[in-house]
Amino acid sequence: MAVKTAETRLEERWRDILAVHARTMCEIDRVLHPYGLGASDFEVLDLLATEPPEQGEQCRVQNLVGRVHLSQSALSRLIGRLEKDGLVERSVCAEDRRGVWVALTPKGRALHAEVLPLQRAVLRRMLAEQEL
């Protein structure tokens, strides 16, 4: 029997983390699908719903890029879909015409509040099985 090295244990731990992440994202997708949302959609709504008060009700799209696990172009497409569904609205930053603000609409805030308990229940269930 081969002896596990520290390197092998590290690789196994990393793969375990990735597996938990994949299973959790799939479960969130499954639970939120009836609401027209996926895990990444929810993540953006959740970040917007929990913006610090000094940021007001909006967030620069550029600030979301580092906080979600999507490329900038994928995030822009996702925000476009959320906007089409009436869940967020975009506006141009007055101080920097290159910047774009995104904010939850009342419909987006209501949907976030409705599905938040479902997403958190998935996290509790999936992560309780793991000791990360």
42-69 pLDDT, tens digit each: 999 999 998 765 555 667 787 788 888 8
Please tell me the predicted confidence (pLDDT) of residue 132: 46
At 68-126, the pLDDT tens digits run 888 889 999 999 999 999 999 988 876 666 678 888 999 999 999 999 999 999 999 99
Nearest partner of 49 among 40, 41, 36, 58, judged by Cα: 58
Q: Which residues contact 30 (CB under 8 A, 6 or more apart)?
A: none
Residue 15 in this model has a pLDDT that exceeds 90: yes
Q: What pLDDT does 55 receive?
A: 54
- Single-letter code of the amino acid located at 129: E
d(CA 62, CA 121): 29
